[in-house]
Amino acid sequence: MSDAAVSRPLDELKEQEKRVRVSGTPLESDLASVPGVRRVSREGGGFLVHASGDPDRLAAGMEAVPGVTGVQVVDQSLEEIFLSYVERPTAGAPAR
């Protein structure tokens, strides 16, 4: 887990750490270039993005990516936030 994530108050951490479900046909590299994105993985017919930042800005950044047809910003529990920092996706494993 990064030092920046650990040093933030819990309320701020929960407010800023998000999962974003993205539908459409964007390039994974375009999603990864959105400010605040830490990790992008395939999920079903779309993508699951782990990101840090203002939820409205994250959504706007994702919506601006060519090929994106839908964006859903999802809150996370503290456990999910922790796991998003320490888990490494394995090939063929479903995204969390």
- Which tens digits make up the pLDDT trace of 37-66? 989 999 988 999 999 999 999 999 999 999
CB 19 within 8 A of CB 50: yes
Out of 21-35, 46-60, 82-96, least confident range: 82-96
Distances (CA, A) of 56 to 10, 52, 59, 82: 20, 11, 5, 22
Residue 3 carries which DSSP code? H
The H-or-E segment that residue 11 falls in is helix 10-16
Residue 80: is it exposed, middle or buried by C-beta count within 10 angstroms (0-12/13-18/19+)?
middle
C-alpha 92/C-alpha 71 separation (Å) is 23
Using the predicted structure, report yes or no on whether residue 30 has a pLDDT greater than 50.
Answer: yes
Specify the fold of 3-86. Alpha-Beta Plaits (3.30.70)
The token pair at 71 is 């964006």
User: Residue 81: its pLDDT value, please?
Assistant: 75
Chain centre to alpha carbon of residue 89 = 13
